Amino acid sequence: MLLKSIAEVADEPLTLNPADPMAEARTSTWWLSADPDDRVALSVGQVCAAFERAAEALRSRIRSLGLQGTVTFYVWHDEQAGQLRCSMSSQAPDTLPFRGAYIATDALGPIIERFLGDQEPGHIPWSELNTETSQPANETVVSPFPVWTRSVGQSA
């Protein structure tokens, strides 16, 4: 089911508006889950290949529409929700519309490995949250998370 959902992303409606990256994020973000059987049955390679195929299909679609400029397809593991998320943006990989710190990467495998290996999706043990002494005791600081990016647009 996860592989089918990833493939369907390439056919979803696109909203690309460089003037409003948050509108892009709201309308062009997809939440992907996997049941426990899928998490065990699927390999990291299968899921990575599915995202690569989706990126290529999006690239072809964007070219056929004649869209110019930067378009980034990106994937991350939302540990709090226990989901993979992917989105499209007219922003460059280093200016994606995240509110928190992230690290753009070409390495999709570790993101998928962490997702598939998540035995309790949506649960983060307190011991894995980082806190800094300069922050009030009731606030936590979350480390930057990896975001896989692929350019699927063409520069003007």
Rounded to whole angstroms, how far apart are CA atoms 131 and 88?
31
Burial tier of 34 (Cβ tally within 10 Å: 0-12, 13-18, 19+): buried
Q: CA separation (Å) from 92 to 10, 18, 114, 131?
A: 19, 10, 25, 30
Tally of CB atoms within 10 A around 87: 21
- Give me the phi and psi of 84, to 5 degrees please: -90, 145
Sign for the CA dihedral angle at 73, 77, 80, 81 comes to positive
- Is 0.95 topped by the overall pTM? no
Tell me how far apart the 2 most distant CA atoms of the chain are, in Å: 53
From first to last of the 156 residues of the chain, give the pLDDT tens digit: 999 999 999 999 888 888 998 889 888 999 999 988 889 999 999 999 999 999 999 999 999 988 888 999 999 999 888 899 999 999 999 999 998 899 999 999 999 999 999 876 655 556 665 555 555 556 666 689 999 999 999 754
Residues 6+ away with beta carbon under 8 Å from 113: 44
Domain ranges of the chain: 2-151
